[in-house]
Amino acid sequence: MRGEEFYRGVSRYISIYSAATGVEALAVARGMKQALTRFANNAIHQNVSIERTTLSVLGLKDNKLAVVNTERFDEEGVEEAFERLKEVLAVSKPLDYQFRFPWPKVVPSYTVYDEKTAKASPDYRAEVVEGFIKRAAKDEAEAFGYFSTGEEELSVMSSNGNFLYHLGSFADLNLVVTRNDGSGYASWAGISVDGANFEEIAELAVSTALKSRNPVEVDPGEYTVVLSPEAVADALTLFAWIACNGKAFEEKTSPAVKYLGKQVSQLPVNIVDDPSYKGVVPIPFDLFGHPRGRFVIVEEGHFARLTYSHAAALKYGKEPTGHTFSLNSVEDSFPVNLVFEPGDVPFERLLKSVDRGIYITRFHYTNVVDPMELVITGMTRDGTFLIEGGELTKPIKNMRFNFGFFELLSNVEMVSEESKSVSSEYGLAIVAPYVKVHKFRFTSKSDH
Amino acid sequence: MRDRLKEVLDFLDSAGAEYFDLRYESIDEEEIAVENAVVKSYSIDQTQGVGVRVLYDGAWGFSATNRLSKDALLKAAKEALDIARTSARLKKEKIVLSSEEVYKDTYRSEFVIDPFTVEKEKKVELLVEATALMKKVPEVVRAEGELRFRKIKKLFLSSEGAEIDQEVVVSGGLIRAHAAGNGDYQVRSYPAGLEGDNATRGWEFIEEMSLLENAERVAGEARDLLYADVAPSGEYDLVIGGSQMALQIHESCGHPAELDRVLGYEISFAGGSFMTLDKIGSFRYGSPIVNITADATIPGGLGTFGYDDEGVRAQKSFIVKDGILVGYLMSRETAVKLGLSSNGAARAHGWWSIPIIRMTNINLLPGTSSFEELIGGVKEGFYIDTNKSWSIDDKRVNFQFATEVAYEIKNGKLGRLYKNFVYWGKTPEFWGSCDAIGNESLWHVWGVMNCGKGQPLQIMHVGHGTAPARFRKVKVGVRS
């Protein structure tokens, strides 16, 4: 990583060339060193290390915006970036609302850096992977997955004097274990490898694989289901993407048009975006330097708030919420530290309460079918079980589902007191509990 | 840079690596996004870096950096070597690469007008005008237009003596109308959904799209969808338009034909494949008129190049011939397991990514039917096009796709518009029901920019040559 002092130097160039060109600017520097060990069929098959640093400069002149992305941080590189900005701004068109950059803000700091994780060696990752492989082999099973470690730095600097710097470590993994036609899964994400219980992760994936062999078919239809934290996190990502963006609400292209301000769950469910929550990989400020704190989206079952980017807030007369994460799409916003807060029911009791239903280990390839109702389709995978009399009695073949996310929220019966930090498909750590839901709709079945 | 890379080659040679390659890439990108006649974003990107891949004691190591000094490159090479040594501890068998011809060559993709020489103002004006035309329809709340251009320069050097320079130019774009009203929200895109249409061509490709000429029609269709009935459920014959066929091929043939998936390398993320090794040469994938190729040599295709990222020359091979599964997409490491040579499908997202098996241009070869004949052969069904939603299981069998538009077909004639059209099925049964494919005049290579695979995630640009095609008794609607 290049470090805070390095970026302070870059911020001076930003100020110099902003003054020289008359282009107001906000620059975002991102550096990442990521190492990832990937394994399949009980062997490492891919092992990579990537180091990359980028500088994005958002220029403003005559109420017109343009972006230049470069990897040059020296004075000449910054000067060239401003020259390009000038060129593009000359042909661009002004925005239809008055734009301005934010004034510098005070940002809370979170302790987020763990050196052991940031600098983890290939040997360390191989040892963890070896543990997974040995545990799988002990039961004549095979392990597949990845284990990633690294560090990331983010600096926001602007021509009006803002300067912020954040350095964080991260780690995440997933593990699929198969034996014959059985398959199991576990995942984890966090800021320190010390927070992961690798033995427990391996045990869960292996035991699920063993239990899910010789699956039987059940007919599609409506069932009570118990969703694992991984499945909850998957659905939560699509909710955040489709339903939480204030811009889409203002344009009337979001399910929030129908559901914002309504009681969407009979239970006091809380869905929050919170960089201070244990288990997330925190991002303390957004790309415009707005501080990020606990932001409650669904409060006690009530769909309470939407995210507004800096630009969308200016456009629609709202307060920015600290959720701008793209300089190429400054009006859009997204919550990056998602948490579905735990309830008060022990998982064992939650499971026992299901007389007949289906347990879902993981969703696969989810997508939105109808954005206005947030209808989500996808498949189950890596361990789907029939629940009878509060016990997982039989593995079943994978099923396709189509459910409305708000219908699901209104059908939540119980939320477990246990929650997990899981690795989501989009590479973000999400904290989620087990959830019991009735009338979950399966529409077809698979051959495996 | 070439000299610096050669010094790194010398270092790796002296370190005893059995195989290694270096890939320098420089990517220039220009993206313009206009919304409601206002420039939402005009971005200019430049990236360059080097990926070092080392095979040591039968195992891979890879390191990539965008610090390009000699010291930084040597550091990356040492890291790749160390990683390979570690990988070797946990291998089942030594990785062996297929024997391939070694090239010293230069490749340039063909174009008429270099898009980077076209005035920026002209690009902006095109999108401003197109979105203003769409915005004339009152129900259109967001009129979007996008253009993107990419120039990718690569230098590939290997321990076998390969030295390949490539330069590929990509152009693409779309317009899209978002309409809200009547308690609903609908989208209509042109010329295709997601990121539109893209090709390894120049500015002439954008001009041929006729974005202005289609803007008002697209906006009108978005509005009409607000007031259209929801498509019914049941079993219907479908004529599927070209851009939706691209998605169908992508998900249900392209991905399952990737040999690394078949061998289990992708199980933890995107899944495996139903096209298992025992099926090659005998499995009936589709009806006898279904012929699907992987062809990286089609002029202008988005999956067209001179050499893949292992230095294997671009080529054409069959995946499905006369309805039978006959081949896979392969890299050097995987082809050798079948006793074959690579068919040139190892590709990396950029200098920061290790090459993995990716689609090139995966094409459904044209049939003999005119569009009128395709529609004329349907008593009761739908003509559908433009992808809106997609999902498929982890073996690529059970799929469910949705399209932006569906037009009723009654007694061989196109009728009224329906919305929220969803169809689903199982891959071999679906392709087995294909009874007509559009002729060469209807065939087009669609360019898909956003194919995701691998961990860390790699986004690849691929092509799909398709014509509209007809399928019998397909399940329609999610509640059926």
Q: Which two tokens stand for residue A348?
A: 């064992």
The CA–CA distances, whole Å, from A146 to A113, B180, B480 equal: 21, 42, 38
Give which of B30, B83, B429 to mutate to test A binding, by max A Cβ within 10 Å. Answer: B83
- Whether residue A84 is contained in a domain is answered as yes
- Whether residue A120 is contained in a domain is answered as yes
pLDDT for residue A425? 66
Q: Which is nearest to A364 in space by CA: B420, B193, B399?
A: B399
| CB-based contact B393 A446, cutoff 8 Å | yes
A55 neighbors A72 (Cβ within 8 angstroms): yes
Asked if the model's pLDDT at residue A139 lies above 60, the reply is yes
Asked if the model's pLDDT at residue A111 lies above 70, the reply is no
pLDDT for residue A105? 81
B19–chain A nearest CA distance, Å: 15
Chain A residues in contact with B86 (beta carbon < 8 A) = 44, 47, 121-123, 125-126
The beta-carbon neighbor of A328 closest among B31, B87, B93 is B31
Q: Which two tokens stand for residue A371?
A: 């954005």
Name the closest residue on chain A to residue B27, using Cα atoms.
Answer: A70
The beta-carbon neighbor of A329 closest among B41, B64, B457 is B41
- Whether residue A138 is contained in a domain is answered as yes
| CB-based contact B389 A251, cutoff 8 Å | no
The whole-number average pLDDT for the span A208-226 is 97
pLDDT in tens, A173-201: 999 999 999 999 999 999 999 999 999 99
Distance, in Å, from the CA atom of A70 to the CA atom of B106, rounded to the nearest integer, reads: 27
- Whether residue A374 is contained in a domain is answered as yes
Local confidence band at A426 (pLDDT 50, 70, 90 cut-offs): low
Residue A38: strand pairing partners:
A46, A146
- Domain count within chain A: 2
Average predicted confidence (pLDDT) for chain A: 96
* CA dihedral over A68, A72, A76, A78, signed as positive or negative: positive
What DSSP designation does B337 have? G
Domain of A403, in residue numbers: 215-448
Q: Which is nearest to B96 in space by CA: B258, B359, B276, B338?
A: B338
A141 plus A245 within the same structural domain: no
In chain A, % of residues over pLDDT 70: 99
| CB-based contact B61 A47, cutoff 8 Å | yes
| CB-based contact A379 B391, cutoff 8 Å | yes
Distance, in Å, from the CA atom of A201 to the CA atom of A230, rounded to the nearest integer, reads: 13
A247 plus A191 within the same structural domain: no
- Whether residue A159 is contained in a domain is answered as yes
The beta-carbon neighbor of A123 closest among B86, B265, B269 is B86
The whole-number average pLDDT for the span A251-257 is 96
A149 plus A234 within the same structural domain: no
Q: Which is nearest to B249 in space by CA: B462, B86, B33?
A: B462
A397 plus A248 within the same structural domain: yes
B149–chain A nearest CA distance, Å: 14
Q: Which is nearest to A78 in space by CA: A166, A6, A184, A154?
A: A6
| CB-based contact A91 B119, cutoff 8 Å | yes
- For residue A19, what is the domain's CATH number? 3.30.2290.10
Residue A52: strand pairing partners:
A32
pLDDT for residue A260? 98
A264 plus A166 within the same structural domain: no
B46 neighbors A71 (Cβ within 8 angstroms): yes
| CB-based contact B142 A402, cutoff 8 Å | no
A251 plus A177 within the same structural domain: no
The beta-carbon neighbor of A251 closest among B34, B40, B141 is B141
Q: Which two tokens stand for residue A162?
A: 């803002």
| CB-based contact B90 A44, cutoff 8 Å | yes
Asked if the model's pLDDT at residue A83 lies above 80, the reply is yes
The beta-carbon neighbor of B83 closest among A49, A64, A327 is A49
A157 plus A14 within the same structural domain: yes
Chain B residues in contact with A176 (beta carbon < 8 A) = 267-268
Chain B residues in contact with A50 (beta carbon < 8 A) = 63-65, 352-353, 456
A61 neighbors A89 (Cβ within 8 angstroms): yes
A251 neighbors A372 (Cβ within 8 angstroms): no
| CB-based contact A372 B184, cutoff 8 Å | yes
Mean pLDDT in runs of 10 for chain B (480 residues)?
A: 94 95 97 93 93 97 95 97 96 96 98 97 97 98 98 98 98 98 96 97 98 98 98 97 98 98 95 98 98 98 98 98 98 98 98 98 98 98 97 97 98 98 98 98 97 94 98 86
Q: Which is nearest to A46 in space by CA: B53, B367, B4?
A: B53
The beta-carbon neighbor of A369 closest among B37, B83, B478 is B478
Structural domains of chain B in order of their starting residue, each with its CATH number? 2-227 (3.30.2290.10), 230-476 (no CATH)
B478 neighbors A377 (Cβ within 8 angstroms): yes
| CB-based contact B79 A49, cutoff 8 Å | yes
A221–chain B nearest CA distance, Å: 9
A141 plus A267 within the same structural domain: no
pLDDT for residue A82? 97
Distance, in Å, from the CA atom of A77 to the CA atom of A71, rounded to the nearest integer, reads: 8
The beta-carbon neighbor of B124 closest among A92, A125, A364 is A92
Distance, in Å, from the CA atom of B345 to the CA atom of B235, rounded to the nearest integer, reads: 37
B455–chain A nearest CA distance, Å: 7
Tracing tokens 């043939």 back to the chain, one arrives at: B253
Chain B residues in contact with A446 (beta carbon < 8 A) = 393, 395, 397-398
A398–chain B nearest CA distance, Å: 9
| CB-based contact A377 B391, cutoff 8 Å | yes
Q: Which two tokens stand for residue B196?
A: 């539109």
A23 plus A148 within the same structural domain: yes
A70 neighbors A77 (Cβ within 8 angstroms): yes
Name the closest residue on chain B to residue A94, using Cα atoms.
Answer: B38
- Whether residue A272 is contained in a domain is answered as yes
A174–chain B nearest CA distance, Å: 7
Chain A residues in contact with B42 (beta carbon < 8 A) = 65-67, 88, 91-92
Name the closest residue on chain A to residue B34, using Cα atoms.
Answer: A93
A221 plus A144 within the same structural domain: no
Chain A residues in contact with B76 (beta carbon < 8 A) = 51
The beta-carbon neighbor of B38 closest among A47, A52, A93 is A93
pLDDT for residue A424? 77
A276 neighbors A259 (Cβ within 8 angstroms): no
A174 plus A300 within the same structural domain: no
Q: In what order do the strands lie in the sheet with B292-295?
A: B324-325, B316-321, B292-295, B362-364
A354 neighbors A226 (Cβ within 8 angstroms): yes
- Whether residue A207 is contained in a domain is answered as no
- Whether residue A204 is contained in a domain is answered as no
Last residue of a domain, one of A195, A230, A258: A195
| CB-based contact B79 A50, cutoff 8 Å | no
Chain B residues in contact with A128 (beta carbon < 8 A) = none
A186 plus A43 within the same structural domain: yes
The beta-carbon neighbor of B352 closest among A43, A50, A448 is A50
